[in-house]
């Protein structure tokens, strides 16, 4: 007799339905798993055998053959233990109904208890899309699984609980009110607040524009100018996640194993700070068992690259594609995996190797050639994807002491950002984009009409600064965001003038 249990496997952040077929034949006791399993799946043999025996059930005396179908999808991870065990228990006559709409996910310990697995949300979402209406998962994964909504989730602590569920002791269904959960957890106190940053009005405004319009930023300034601190404050002014974004982000953190059982849903936009010594795989993603890199963990949030010119050229070159397309493609031997990676890039750099070019107090010790070489490490194509370029001068002790006005708290800036985002969401609802940074040349024509005065100013600037077409468009996008922040329907002269200050 062949028994079957439904399960799933992830490819990227998507999941495919898998059938675990089990057959026992009269032969020497042995167990084999076929159907393109990776090593973690092959090791299921040992775990499943011990788990079944130690749970007090009998294990077949013949040869056990497990087939994971379809065979052309590579199976990864440890979530196949449970469906395989279920198939074997059925072979041994345990009453578990054959049900095409029921699935099982989970790793087994040798003693039969179920261990938390990675990727539950994408797995359960994939199963639901394949018509599955009931899923059994490890207890610690139950809340995360229930985020998928529209599928019955049962969290079990061990194999015995699942068998008992079908006999006489049903497991309580896990339910999560996802809208309520997101609402309750979206607003939190952030560690870093713009009210702690003295002065630097222009840089702060640039970061506000970046948050509002989804623009990339490059800050250049001496050590001690507060670049890193201001980048950290970015997290406090980003708008809350929409439900769809939260679920997408949760999938990424789920397959990366970064969710905790108590916080199953990502409710805040991520802020990821990456050091230039990190491995390219760690930044971009990939490896033998591909995992999302930092640029994917920063999806819908901020990626901060401090000392951006120190990053390996290879890494900076690879960044161009996600900055353009909002996703990264990772090639492997047989297949390619796509991970979403749409983020706001914030880069920080010193103006020169010694760091003090243009500083009011400390002299720069670099030669002209050194400075040129240093600044040219950022390639043109990468710079083309950065909308806002600003100088962040270090304030002298005297200047710092003389600043008497209180800085505006992040909460107030965030309100303006949220308003501006709403305006954009409404304006672009039929265009398939969310923010001004995504405006294509065609959409720029549609939404960035200029009156005569603004046209004249921009035309003059284009001549004086010899603006390329790309730079011209960047200024239009920034002007659009500045106008949105001030609630203006049309781009006016003052918005263009302000936008011109951020051209680098």
Which is closer to Zn ion, CB of 350 or CB of 437? Answer: 350
Q: How far is CA 454 from CA 210, 387, 451, 462, 483, in A?
A: 22, 19, 6, 12, 12
Task: Give me the least distance between CB of 353 and Zn ion, in Å please.
Answer: 6
94 is a contact residue toward Zn ion (CB under 5 A): no
Which is closer to Zn ion, CB of 96 or CB of 354? Answer: 354
Which is closer to Zn ion, CB of 159 or CB of 357? Answer: 357
Pick from 446, 409, 454, 450: nearest CA to 430: 446
Task: Give me the least distance between CB of 363 and Zn ion, in Å please.
Answer: 8
CB-side exposure of 444: number of CA atoms within 13 Å? Answer: 15
Q: Which residues contact 100 (CB under 8 A, 6 or more apart)?
A: 6, 131
Task: Give me the least distance between CB of 362 and Zn ion, in Å please.
Answer: 9
Tokens of 425: 């969401």
Size of the site for Zn ion (CB under 5 A): 5
Task: Give me the least distance between CB of 359 and Zn ion, in Å please.
Answer: 9
Tokens of 389: 């370029």
- What string of DSSP letters covers 315-366? HHHHHHHHHHHSEEEEE-SS-EEEEE---EEEEEE-SSSSS-TT-SSSPP--
Task: Give me the least distance between CB of 309 and Zn ion, in Å please.
Answer: 13
364 is a contact residue toward Zn ion (CB under 5 A): yes
Alpha helices in 221-329 (DSSP H): 227-233, 243-255, 280-284, 294-297, 313-325
Task: Give me the least distance between CB of 365 and Zn ion, in Å please.
Answer: 6
Is 285 strand, coil or helix?
strand
Rounded Cα distance between 42 and 38, Å, is 6
Which is closer to Zn ion, CB of 262 or CB of 368? Answer: 368
Binding region for Zn ion (CB under 5 A) out of 61-69, 228-236, 355-363, 405-413 = 355-363
What CA dihedral angle connects 151, 152, 157 and 161, to 10 degrees? -140
Rounded Cα distance between 394 and 227, Å, is 9
Which is closer to Zn ion, CB of 266 or CB of 354? Answer: 354
Binding region for Zn ion (CB under 5 A) out of 223-231, 240-248, 361-369, 455-463 = 361-369
423 is a contact residue toward Zn ion (CB under 5 A): no
Q: Which of residues 334-353 bind Zn ion (CB under 5 A)?
A: 352
Helix (H) or strand (E) holding 124: helix 120-129
For the beta carbon of residue 496, count every other beta carbon within 10 angstroms: 24
Task: Give me the least distance between CB of 355 and Zn ion, in Å please.
Answer: 6
Binding region for Zn ion (CB under 5 A) out of 201-209, 265-273, 359-367, 421-429 = 359-367
The strand pair at 291-292 and 285-286 is best described as antiparallel
Tokens of 390: 């600003």
Task: Give me the least distance between CB of 361 and Zn ion, in Å please.
Answer: 13
Task: Give me the least distance between CB of 283 and Zn ion, in Å please.
Answer: 27
Which is closer to Zn ion, CB of 197 or CB of 219? Answer: 219
Tokens of 235: 């997290």
Task: Give me the least distance between CB of 354 and Zn ion, in Å please.
Answer: 3
Which is closer to Zn ion, CB of 142 or CB of 366? Answer: 366
Which is closer to Zn ion, CB of 376 or CB of 449? Answer: 376
Q: Which of residues 26-55 bind Zn ion (CB under 5 A)?
A: none
Rounded Cα distance between 452 and 81, Å, is 69
Q: Which of residues 138-197 bind Zn ion (CB under 5 A)?
A: none
Q: Which of 153, 357, 461, 475 binds Zn ion (CB under 5 A)?
A: 357
Task: Give me the least distance between CB of 358 and Zn ion, in Å please.
Answer: 9
Rounded Cα distance between 394 and 273, Å, is 22
Which is closer to Zn ion, CB of 329 or CB of 371? Answer: 371
295 is a contact residue toward Zn ion (CB under 5 A): no
Which is closer to Zn ion, CB of 350 or CB of 410? Answer: 350
Burial (CB count <10 Å: 0-12, 13-18, 19+), residue 297: buried
- What string of DSSP letters covers 403-418? --SPPPPHHHHHHHHH
Binding region for Zn ion (CB under 5 A) out of 124-132, 358-366, 438-446, 459-467 = 358-366
Which is closer to Zn ion, CB of 344 or CB of 366? Answer: 366
366 is a contact residue toward Zn ion (CB under 5 A): yes
Q: Which of 319, 354, 386, 496 binds Zn ion (CB under 5 A)?
A: 354
- Given the rule CB under 5 A, which residues bind Zn ion? 352, 354, 357, 364, 366
């Amino acid at each position: 007799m062949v028994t079957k249990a439904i399960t799933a496997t992830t490819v990227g952040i998507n999941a495919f339905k898998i059938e675990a077929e089990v057959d026992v034949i009269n032969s020497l006791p042995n167990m084999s798993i076929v159907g393109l399993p990776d090593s973690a799946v092959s090791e299921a043999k040992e775990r499943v055998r011990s788990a079944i025996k130690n749970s007090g059930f009998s294990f077949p005396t013949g040869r056990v053959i497990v087939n994971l179908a379809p065979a052309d999808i590579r199976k990864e991870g440890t979530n196949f233990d449970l469906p395989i065990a279920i198939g074997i228990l059925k072979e041994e006559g345990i009453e578990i109904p054959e049900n095409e709409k029921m699935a099982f996910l989970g790793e087994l310990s040798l003693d039969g208890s179920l261990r938390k697995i990675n990727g539950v949300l994408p797995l359960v979402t994939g199963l639901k899309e394949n018509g599955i209406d009931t899923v059994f998962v490890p207890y610690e994964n139950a809340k995360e699984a229930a985020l998928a909504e529209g599928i019955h989730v049962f969290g079990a602590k061990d194999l015995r609980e699942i068998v008992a569920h079908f006999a006489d002791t049903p497991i309580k269904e896990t339910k999560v009110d996802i809208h309520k959960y997101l609402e309750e957890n979206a607003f939190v106190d952030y560690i870093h607040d713009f009210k702690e940053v003295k002065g630097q009005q222009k840089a702060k405004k640039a970061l506000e524009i970046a948050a509002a319009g989804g623009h990339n930023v490059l800050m250049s300034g001496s050590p001690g100018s507060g670049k890193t601190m201001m980048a950290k404050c970015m997290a406090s002014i980003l708008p809350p996640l929409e439900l769809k974004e939260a679920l997408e982000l949760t999938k990424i953190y789920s397959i990366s194993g970064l969710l905790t059982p108590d916080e199953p849903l990502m409710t805040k936009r991520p802020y990821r700070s990456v050091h230039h010594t990190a491995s390219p795989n760690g930044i971009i993603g990939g490896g033998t068992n591909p995992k999302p890199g930092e640029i994917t963990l920063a999806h819908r949030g901020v990626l901060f690259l401090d000392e951006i010119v120190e990053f390996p050229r290879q890494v900076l070159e690879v960044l161009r594609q996600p900055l353009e397309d909002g996703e990264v493609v990772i090639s492997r031997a047989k297949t390619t995996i796509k991970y979403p990676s749409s983020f706001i890039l914030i880069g920080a750099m010193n103006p020169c190797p010694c760091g003090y070019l243009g500083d009011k107090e400390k002299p720069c010790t670099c030669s002209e050639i050194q400075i040129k070489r240093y600044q040219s490490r950022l390639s043109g194509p990468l710079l083309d994807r950065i909308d806002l370029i600003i100088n962040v001068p270090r304030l002298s002790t005297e200047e710092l002491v003389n600043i008497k006005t209180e800085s505006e708290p992040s909460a107030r800036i965030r309100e303006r950002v949220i308003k501006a985002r709403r305006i954009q969401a409404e304006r672009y609802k039929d265009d398939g984009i969310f923010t001004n940074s995504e405006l294509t040349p065609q959409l720029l024509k549609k939404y960035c009409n200029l009156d005569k005065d603004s046209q004249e100013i921009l035309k003059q600037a284009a001549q004086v600064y010899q603006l390329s077409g790309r730079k011209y468009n960047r200024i239009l996008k920034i002007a659009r965001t500045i106008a949105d922040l001030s609630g203006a329907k049309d781009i006016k002269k003052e918005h263009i003038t302000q936008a011109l200050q951020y051209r680098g």
